Amino acid sequence: MAAKKKTAKKKTAKKAAAKKSATKKKSATAKKKTTATRKKKATTTKKAAADPVVESAVDDEPIESEETVEAEAPGRPTAGGLRRGRRRRLPAARRAELGEGLGADIPPLPDEADLPAFGRPSAPPPAPVRGDEDPRQLLARVRRGEAHVSDLGRVPEDALRQLARDEGLAVGDGERVTDIAVRLVTHQPARSGREGREARDGRDGRPRRERRERSSTPREPAEREPAGEIETVRVEGLLEMHPDGYGFLRRSERGYSQHPEDVYVAAALLRRVGLQPGHYVVGEAHRPRPGQAYLALQTVEEVNHQDPAVLADVVPFKDLTVVYPDTRLPLEVEPTGFEMRIMDLFCPVGRGQRGLIVAPPRSGKTVLLTKLADAIASNSPDVDIVVLLVDERPEEVTNMRRSVRGEVIASTFDKPAANHVRVAELVMEKVKRMVELGRHVVLLLDSITRLGRAYNNMTGGSGRILTGGLDANALTKPKRFFSSARNVEDGGSLTIIASALVDTGSKLDQVIFEEFKGTGNMECVLSRDLSNARIWPAIDVPASGTRNEDLLLHPDEMAQTVRLRRAVTGLPAEEVMRALIVKLREFPTNREFLMALGDGGM
């Protein structure tokens, strides 16, 4: 057995040695072939270098140009991926014969002075819109880039709707004109039959290939269009910044929502002028060129109704010194305005106040906010009033806009939570920029509970969920929003009075209120019992009050207010309100009412 094993091992070793020998022979043969190929190529290259001018391979058909052509002979690949061929030139006699006619048919080149600054003719400015222009012609000009989509808004609504139907669009009765115009511009109608053939071959019946060949012919200088001036328009709006550095100007009448007519602001212009989110900008913009979708801001004339140069000396909002509210905002307007007279007595408001109106459903918070805005506008005309309605009913928005002498910004409940958050943050940036420039601003928010809901919906899951489904990080930005209220030392002020919903049956609403409770320095509590009894205003007097109210009231007024509070402490809210209304009817002003108080109060 041992002998057999030794014999098998010897056979295996012989086979392996034979394989190695065969492999070495193959490798040597391949090397010889490679060396021969290289030598052959080198010889060919030397011959070509010695005699660069080579006659054509076919003497009967000489090459009639001096251009370099690609030969079929193999060569090394070039950078462009093509093979480099041999240079072929005409015989000397043939070159001399053709030299006389060179350049005979080539048109003369235009002078450099005839060309525009950038070497190519600029597109002419959009033609102005005529009042009697046919809507179809105007639509065609907009699609070609010769007019802006906003020009379609000047077409009568009935004509624009009929044009959309003719184009094959389904138009609803409640659809806005601006939306119809945008759909018309982006709509591409189907083509068939003769119209399709004309679109394929051209209106004159010539194939596209022929038209391309003719269009590639050099044109005479006289055919170039003159470079026209860029048409500019005056624009204004609130600056909203994009995370990538550029921005857009949003309009207040559209609720600062995104719109095709918004103005684009380049990042370079933002840095050069020093613009920040929330600045109200007035300037000049040029109309969209072909291929552009928005107007583009070119120059800045005003920022928050002031010269842009003042931005260099502005102190950022976060660096302003914050102090207690020490200047009162009078709320008393007329003798029968019991809501404001009672608030002025028990929970006065100062410039820079951070107040909460704690309100159960149907307790009159919206009416109270409306009268509060009217009272501040009447007694303090130097104060700017901004009303922000979040997740509110549309009819409440309309009523507020008709009642308040100030700017009303709304995001109704039919809008997504992302829109609530975007509008709220833009409004906050707006009022911050106003305070930086020394303005006194009052922001009325309805409601901070719904704003907290919107942020809760937009916050990614942190893994920590509180009672009612509230994310642990959801209220970080709403608290930052509410904490922005402040009185600036030797400067402006930002007063925020927000409503907070309670007793709604939602645990989430209750948790949000508990998070904000104690963060304000003024609370006006509304009572459901009073509202159910139809006693207005439904203010729970013992539960309402202002911190550090002695900084807002005269010492004598403060002493009488303390006496009045002692008189109503411990009494039912319904009894207190009925007695107050009776007493206030006897005196036309709160001052006379307080002076008439005896030692025992009411």
Q: Are 482 and 471 in contact (CB under 8 A)?
A: no
- pLDDT on residue 203: 43
Q: How many helices (H) and strands (E) does the chain have?
A: 19, 14
Q: Does residue 326 carry a pLDDT above 60? A: yes
Neighbours of 104 (CB within 10 A): 6
Up-side HSE of residue 533: CA atoms within 13 Å toward CB?
Answer: 15
**Run of H or E including 376:** helix 365-379
Q: Are 538 and 527 in contact (CB under 8 A)?
A: yes
Q: Does residue 409 carry a pLDDT above 90? A: yes
- pLDDT on residue 53: 41
At 173, the pLDDT band (50, 70, 90 cuts) reads: low
pLDDT, average across residues 374-388: 95
Neighbours of 340 (CB within 10 A): 24
Neighbours of 81 (CB within 10 A): 6
Q: Tens digits of per-residue pLDDT, 327-355?
A: 999 999 999 889 999 999 999 999 999 99
Q: Does residue 120 carry a pLDDT above 70? A: no
At 468, the pLDDT band (50, 70, 90 cuts) reads: confident
Question: Which tokens go with 253?
Answer: 């009448």
d(CA 472, CA 470) in angstroms, rounded, equals 6
d(CA 429, CA 494) in angstroms, rounded, equals 12
- pLDDT on residue 184: 78
d(CA 530, CA 360) in angstroms, rounded, equals 11
Neighbours of 270 (CB within 10 A): 21
pLDDT, average across residues 403-419: 92
Q: Does residue 461 carry a pLDDT above 70? A: no
Question: Per mean pLDDT, which range of 172-186, 356-370, 530-544, 561-575 is the poorest?
Answer: 172-186
Q: Are 560 and 595 in contact (CB under 8 A)?
A: yes
What 8-state DSSP symbol labels residue 204?
T
Question: Which tokens go with 410?
Answer: 């709304």
As to burial, measured by CB atoms within 10 angstroms (0-12 exposed, 13-18 middle, 19+ buried), residue 326 is middle
Contacts of 495 (CB under 8 A, 6+ apart): 325, 329, 349, 350, 351, 352, 353, 354, 355, 440, 441, 442, 443, 485
Q: Does residue 69 carry a pLDDT above 80? A: no
Question: What residue type is assigned to position 350 of the chain?
Answer: G
d(CA 533, CA 573) in angstroms, rounded, equals 11
Virtual CA dihedral for 369, 375, 376, 382, nearest 10 degrees? 140
Q: Does residue 294 carry a pLDDT above 90? A: no
Q: Are 385 and 358 in contact (CB under 8 A)?
A: no
Q: Does residue 221 carry a pLDDT above 60? A: no
- pLDDT on residue 71: 39
Is pLDDT larger for residue 497 or for residue 447? 497
Which residues are registered as beta bridge partners of 235?
283
Instruction: Classify 522 as helix, strand or coil.
Output: strand
pLDDT, average across residues 573-594: 92
Residue 440's closest CA among 352, 375, 316? 352
**Run of H or E including 486:** strand 486-488
Q: Round the average pLDDT of the chain to a whole number and report it.
A: 78
Question: What residue type is assigned to position 109 of the chain?
Answer: L
Which residues are registered as beta bridge partners of 295?
263
Q: Are 351 and 488 in contact (CB under 8 A)?
A: no
At 88, the pLDDT band (50, 70, 90 cuts) reads: low
Question: What residue type is assigned to position 134 of the chain?
Answer: D
Which residues are registered as beta bridge partners of 282?
236, 302
Q: Tens digits of per-residue pLDDT, 249-280?
A: 999 888 888 888 899 999 999 999 999 999 99
At 40, the pLDDT band (50, 70, 90 cuts) reads: low
